[in-house]
């Protein structure tokens, strides 16, 4: 198992190199002028040219890419064009709100999706099953920003229960977590239901029932333990995608997270800030995927034996 983990960690290197190359290539294709974007309209062409030369933006594409990669291997994410500060320090200050928001949102999605999905599978074709399937279709088509505005209007403006701006206290994350977690609960619900339906029809479930095992033990200890594997994959990948993808929600709730930081950096053509943020997101996503695989191995002995053998 340790050998497998080391191999996966070594695979992070080509993944990060590829991610940085794609970001550099895409930003190189778009018409950009960081000097003009940062200095503003009052700057003279000479000042803009001097600024671009000072930050190394006028160098050839491959030279800038290789220089950035060598700095990345030393742990240097570069210096932001706009803030004149190391990107690593800027990203660290932005990543914590995004990680906490993503975790709380997926916690909401997991609680709702897994509970209702398992109940729907156990009581297939019942009223609960039909209602939950219908609600899952509606929630899957519900935009997170629309739900966020509804939550702000009712729970913050009308009722005044939760705050709707900032990240000062844990209560500030309640409405953003609901706004992001409820739409994602639809996919968790569908995966939980379909996976649970496949498992409760297996022979080992009938064998457990014939031995007189209590019904709740059959559902949660036998069927659910095998049905949870694809659900864990869905939850983990969604968590990784939310870290840098909750831009609109962060802006609606006034949260200074990583998604807002990346969006602002793209508008300013701040290449080091964009690349540094994407590198951090790629590292977190890769670690999440590795944790998902290790969790699969911990739950399923067959997966653990295959990893150990490999």
Neighbours of 144 (CB within 10 A): 21
Spell out the residues 6+ positions from residue 151 whose beta carbon is closer than 8 angstroms to its own.
Answer: 164, 175, 178, 179
* Residue in 309, 276, 241, 293 with CA at minimum distance from that of residue 16: 276
Mean residue pLDDT of the chain comes to 82
Model confidence at 169, pLDDT cuts 50, 70, 90, reads confident
| Each residue's pLDDT tens digit, 192-241 | 888 888 888 888 888 888 888 888 888 888 888 888 888 888 888 888 77
Q: What pTM value is reported for the model?
A: 0.80
Distance CA 283, CA 130 (A): 40
Distance CA 122, CA 219 (A): 8
- Average pLDDT in the 16-38 region? 77
Q: Which two tokens stand for residue 27?
A: 């930003």
For the chain, domains (ranges, CATH) are: 92-309 (1.10.3720.10)
Distance CA 120, CA 129 (A): 4
Going 215 to 108 to 234 to 149, the CA torsion angle's sign is positive
């Amino acid at each position: 198992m340790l050998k497998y983990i080391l191999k996966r960690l070594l695979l992070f290197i080509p993944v990060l190199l590829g991610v940085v190359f794609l970001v550099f290539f895409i930003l190189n294709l778009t018409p950009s002028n960081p000097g003009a974007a940062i200095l503003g309209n009052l700057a003279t062409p000479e000042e803009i040219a001097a600024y671009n030369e000072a930050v190394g933006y006028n160098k050839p594409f491959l030279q800038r890419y290789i220089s950035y990669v060598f700095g990345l291997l030393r742990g240097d994410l570069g210096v932001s064009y706009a803030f004149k500060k190391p990107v690593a320090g800027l990203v660290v200050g932005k990543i914590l709100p995004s990680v906490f928001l993503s975790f709380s949102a997926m916690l909401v999605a997991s609680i709702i999706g897994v509970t209702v999905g398992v109940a729907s599978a156990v009581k297939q074709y019942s009223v609960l099953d039909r209602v939950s399937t219908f609600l899952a279709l509606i929630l899957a088509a519900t935009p997170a920003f629309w739900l966020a505005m509804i939550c702000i209007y009712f729970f913050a403006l009308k009722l005044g229960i939760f705050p709707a701006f900032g990240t000062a206290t844990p209560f500030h994350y309640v409405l953003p977590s609901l706004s992001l977690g409820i739409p994602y609960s639809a996919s968790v619900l569908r995966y939980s239901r379909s996976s649970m339906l496949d498992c409760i029809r297996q022979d080992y479930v009938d064998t457990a029932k014939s031995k007189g095992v209590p019904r709740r033990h059959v559902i949660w200890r036998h069927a659910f333990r095998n049905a949870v594997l694809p659900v864990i994959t869905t939850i983990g990948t969604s968590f990784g995608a939310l870290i840098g993808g909750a831009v609109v929600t962060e802006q609606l709730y006034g949260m200074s997270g990583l998604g807002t930081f990346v969006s602002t950096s793209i508008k300013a053509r701040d290449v080091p800030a964009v690349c540094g943020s994407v590198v951090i997101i790629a590292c977190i996503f890769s670690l999440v995927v590795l944790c998902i695989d290790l969790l699969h191995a911990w739950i399923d002995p067959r997966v653990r034996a295959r990893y150990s053998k490999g």
